[in-house]
Structure 1
Amino acid sequence: MRRLLIATAGRSDYGIYRPILDRIEAEPELDYALLVTGQHLSDAGGGTVEEIEADGRPIAARVRLPETAASRGAVAEAMAVALSETGVLLAGEGFDMVVVLGDRFEIFAVTAACVPFNIPVAHIHGGEVSFGAIDDSLRHAMTKMAHLHFAATDDYARRIRQLGEEDWRITVSGAPALDTMMKAELPDRATLSARFDLPLDEPPLMVTFHPVTRQFGEAERQTRALLTALEAVNLPVVLTAPNADVESDVIRRLFDAFLARRAGRAWLVESFGALNYLAMLREARAAVGNSSSGLIETPGFELPTVNIGDRQLGRTRAANVIDCAADADAIEAAIRQALDPAFRASLAGMANPYGDGNAAERIVTTLRDVPIDARLTGKIFVDR
């Protein structure tokens, strides 16, 4: 039996992994355990490890990291801890392959720890671009350390090839989150309303906003601009908590003040969990923020989406995405465009460029069948 170690650092990647884990569990030739770290175990992150425990997923290790919300130095320290503790785990247990996803600094450290052990790494969501975040550099570095690549689109696969990777290592799988969106039974409106104490008779704006890590010092200005625009539009707002990047503490502080001003019209949910989050997108009037979910998942609901600033600059966009600068007037104008019934009507029947909902099958088939040998671990650079 082939044993996989799968690294997860927060609610966002765990939700993406869910259909992959389900498919692995149905495969008799594969076994797996999770390395749980990052925001899952953060005091400020809502204790999202509880979702993993409730799902009954096997956990090989829990790697608690320093809190990173207020300090760039703490991010470097957290990377060091994640790298070191992953090394301890790999030295003590026999894993045949490590699976990583995305571009978070915690997952970069896990990937780097695999290098001295010569353990093959499978990377999901490589080849993408997000110029506004330091994650951009980390993602491409992970591509060069990884041995298998599961790209969400043809464009992203082409970029992986530009980085010198051999064609046979690359699979255009699509985005695994779409598997859940297309195939899972999502909670209905009444269930969501009761579970999170949210009145949903009037569709809210769904807002997810994170620090832009290549624009350190700008979080307060950008968040104030967002909140000013939301107040001007004067609709119900559901906020999700920011991730663990530096200056997320600034965003949280401003969110708290906004919630106090808008009591009864604004709510914050620390973590919905994957199924509930997708169901909230289904119920929303529009999505607003700078999260990758605004580009990947929202097209499947034909949901108007306002993408703010540079955090996702460079990613593939569908017709539902309205880009705007991170200032109050631009954000307000973009929201009003998203709320225009004619704009929403124009999205009927739109295609999602991120796949067909069968990513997990493609990924798990490759993880099961690829020979683990010198050809896999002995990477060459292809000059093109």
Structure 2
Amino acid sequence: MSAARRICVVTGTRAEYGLMRGLIAGIRDDDAFELQLAVTGMHLSPEFGLTWREIEADGFPIDERVEILLSSDTPVGVSKAMGLGLIGFADAFARLKPDLVVVLGDRFEILAAASAALVAGIPIAHIHGGETTEGAFDEAIRHSVTKMSHLHFTAAAPYRDRVIQLGEAPERVFLVGGLGIDAIKGLKLLDRAELEGQLDLEFGARNLMVTFHPPTLEPGEAAAQMQALLDALDSLGPETHLLFTMPNADTGGRELAAMVDRFVAARPHARVFTSLGQLRYLSCMRLMDGVVGNSSSGLIETPSFGIGTVNIGDRQAGRLKAASVIDCAPQQDAIEAALERLFSDDFRKGLAGVENPYGTGGATMAILDVLRRHPLSGLLKKSFHDIALATDTGER
């Protein structure tokens, strides 16, 4: 019998862990694998809720804790955090000696982990590559991690094409769909009464979930955009209850978090949570009239609940979007117009037939199947895959 494959999963945020929770469980419960779990970033920060405790409560022992976050969200602070991450993951991988490292997405913590694995000669499997987010530097990080990786699990056909366009061999690029759909289908969601009791809140006649992250490619604009959003939400009045989740640990995130805290403190119909956890987050989403902000969750998970999304600004520009997503500029009048459309009868009637471009589920099992059967020997041997390009013969 062949030895179990040592699979090291890296997670740095609550959202990323929520997406991979089923995959982590699948690796743990399969005799073909030995699960190693490396936790970093916001999971280890009191400011972001010490969400490593949720991971352990789910029954997953943590093998490595890689501390990287500083008390600064300036460009210098984030760059130093990446440096600490590279040092920490170099040590962690030297101790764990994984056969494969699994990472998801596009955050700076993941870039540090992938860089350390690359230098250590450890193959990398990357989930949710090939996507585009034109309003954040995550765009460049995502494609950089793609180039460091050896197996690729993409959420939609255009994203698979883009990974191949980046020079990755087609036989190593797998179309599996979005992991968030599996999370929705795999959980027994809480009902309204359970949520109101657990969270000590009361849902209103209308309810919105709000998450706004800094647009990191627009320096100096984040606070103005957040203020425009808060002013637009204020125009709805107290009959619309607001449930905020906090921004990520991105450049400028602390300023936005402080603005949300001040807004909520003055309005009894608004609440804010540092971390709801996956079960309560998705359970709340199901009861909302809409999701507002610039989080990828509003594009990937929300359409599966048959509710609308107001997607503000350019942070998610370039991602595939369902017909339930309303794009708007990050100005108060544009956001107010989008909210008016969100609540309109015509828009709400059309939500029943919306299809989610990220699939209908099954990504977890598809990834596990590849991790189980794909040869690991020779995986590091990699050449650039050239695609056929039309020849431009026009004169200059």
Smaller-chain TM-score bracket: over 0.9
1:126 matched residue in structure 2: 129
Q: Is the CA contact 1:124–1:150 (under 8 Å) kept in the aligned structure 2?
A: yes
Q: Is the CA contact 1:68–1:78 (under 8 Å) kept in the aligned structure 2?
A: no
Is structure 2 residue 301 aligned with structure 1 residue 279?
no
- The superposition leaves residues 155-176 of structure 1 with CA deviations (integer Å, 9 ceiling, x where unpaired) of 1000001001101101101111
Q: Which amino acid aligns with 2:108?
A: F
- 1:67 and 1:330 mapped to 2: Cα distance? 36
- 1:105 and 1:23 mapped to 2: Cα distance? 26
- 1:211 and 1:313 mapped to 2: Cα distance? 14
How far residue 259 of structure 1 moved from its aligned partner, in angstroms, is: 1.0
Comparing 354-363 with 16-25, greater Cα deviation is found at: 16-25
Q: Which amino acid aligns with 1:100?
A: V
2:197 matched residue in structure 1: 194
Q: Alignment length, in residue pairs?
A: 382
Q: Give the 3-state SS of the residue equivalent to 1:6 in structure 2.
A: strand
How far residue 67 of structure 1 moved from its aligned partner, in angstroms, is: 2.6
- 2:221 and 2:380 mapped to 1: Cα distance? 42
Q: Which amino acid aligns with 1:246?
A: T
TM-score, scaled relative to structure 1: 0.98
How far residue 69 of structure 1 moved from its aligned partner, in angstroms, is: 4.9
Q: Which amino acid aligns with 1:2?
A: R
1:64 matched residue in structure 2: 67
Q: Which amino acid aligns with 1:207?
A: V
- The superposition leaves residues 134-177 of structure 1 with CA deviations (integer Å, 9 ceiling, x where unpaired) of 00000000000000000000010000010011011011011111
- 1:185 and 1:124 mapped to 2: Cα distance? 25
Q: Is the CA contact 1:79–1:105 (under 8 Å) kept in the aligned structure 2?
A: yes
How far residue 9 of structure 1 moved from its aligned partner, in angstroms, is: 0.4
- The superposition leaves residues 351-382 of structure 1 with CA deviations (integer Å, 9 ceiling, x where unpaired) of 111012100000011111111111x1111101
Q: Give the 3-state SS of the residue equivalent to 2:46 in structure 1.
A: coil
1:298 matched residue in structure 2: 302
- 1:287 and 1:150 mapped to 2: Cα distance? 27
- 1:198 and 1:3 mapped to 2: Cα distance? 43
How far residue 226 of structure 1 moved from its aligned partner, in angstroms, is: 0.3
Q: What percent of counterpart residues are identical?
A: 45
Q: Give the 3-state SS of the residue equivalent to 2:43 in structure 1.
A: helix
1:111 matched residue in structure 2: 114
- Whose relative contact order is higher, 1 or 2, with alpha carbons under 8 Å and at least 6 apart? 1
TM-score, scaled relative to structure 2: 0.95
2:334 matched residue in structure 1: 330
Q: Is the CA contact 1:68–1:245 (under 8 Å) kept in the aligned structure 2?
A: no
Q: Is the CA contact 1:68–1:246 (under 8 Å) kept in the aligned structure 2?
A: no
Give 1:310-321 correspondences, 5 Å limit: 310-321=314-325
How far residue 220 of structure 1 moved from its aligned partner, in angstroms, is: 1.0
2:102 matched residue in structure 1: 99
- The superposition leaves residues 22-80 of structure 1 with CA deviations (integer Å, 9 ceiling, x where unpaired) of 22233111121211000111231111111101112121111111336531101111101
Q: Which amino acid aligns with 1:321?
A: V
Q: Is the CA contact 1:229–1:332 (under 8 Å) kept in the aligned structure 2?
A: yes
Q: Which amino acid aligns with 1:142?
A: V
- 1:174 and 1:69 mapped to 2: Cα distance? 35
1:245 matched residue in structure 2: 250
Is structure 2 residue 374 aligned with structure 1 residue 382?
no
How far residue 90 of structure 1 moved from its aligned partner, in angstroms, is: 1.3
Q: Give the 3-state SS of the residue equivalent to 1:291 in structure 2.
A: coil
How far residue 290 of structure 1 moved from its aligned partner, in angstroms, is: 0.1
Q: Is the CA contact 2:9–2:24 (under 8 Å) kept in the aligned structure 1?
A: no
Give 1:218-233 correspondences, 5 Å limit: 218-233=221-236
Q: Is the CA contact 1:33–1:57 (under 8 Å) kept in the aligned structure 2?
A: no
Which of structure 1's runs of 4+ aligned residues deviate more than 3 A? Answer: none
For the structure 1 residues 21 and 326, does the alpha-carbon distance in structure 2 shift closer, same or farther, using more than 3 Å as the test? Answer: same
Comparing 113-122 with 194-203, greater Cα deviation is found at: 194-203
Q: Is the CA contact 2:229–2:330 (under 8 Å) kept in the aligned structure 1?
A: yes
Structure 1: which 5+ residue stretches go unaligned?
A: none
Q: Give the 3-state SS of the residue equivalent to 2:310 in structure 1.
A: strand
Q: Is the CA contact 2:67–2:88 (under 8 Å) kept in the aligned structure 1?
A: no
Q: Give the 3-state SS of the residue equivalent to 1:377 in structure 2.
A: coil
1:360 matched residue in structure 2: 364
- The superposition leaves residues 257-290 of structure 1 with CA deviations (integer Å, 9 ceiling, x where unpaired) of 211221x210001111111111111000111000
Q: Give the 3-state SS of the residue equivalent to 1:236 in structure 2.
A: strand
Is structure 2 residue 264 aligned with structure 1 residue 259?
yes
2:393 matched residue in structure 1: none
1:345 matched residue in structure 2: 349
Q: Is the CA contact 2:135–2:314 (under 8 Å) kept in the aligned structure 1?
A: yes
2:392 matched residue in structure 1: none
Q: Which amino acid aligns with 1:37?
A: T
How far residue 180 of structure 1 moved from its aligned partner, in angstroms, is: 1.5
Is structure 2 residue 217 aligned with structure 1 residue 178?
no
For the structure 1 residues 80 and 286, does the alpha-carbon distance in structure 2 shift closer, same or farther, using more than 3 Å as the test? Answer: same
Q: 2:49 aligns with which of 39, 46, 50?
A: 46
Q: 2:241 aligns with which of 236, 239, 248?
A: 236
Q: Is the CA contact 2:6–2:35 (under 8 Å) kept in the aligned structure 1?
A: yes
How far residue 201 of structure 1 moved from its aligned partner, in angstroms, is: 4.6
Q: Is the CA contact 1:42–1:67 (under 8 Å) kept in the aligned structure 2?
A: no
- 1:153 and 1:78 mapped to 2: Cα distance? 31
- The superposition leaves residues 64-109 of structure 1 with CA deviations (integer Å, 9 ceiling, x where unpaired) of 1133653110111110111111111111222110000000000111
How far residue 321 of structure 1 moved from its aligned partner, in angstroms, is: 0.2
Q: Which amino acid aligns with 2:116?
A: A
Q: Give the 3-state SS of the residue equivalent to 2:63 in structure 1.
A: strand
- 1:276 and 1:95 mapped to 2: Cα distance? 33
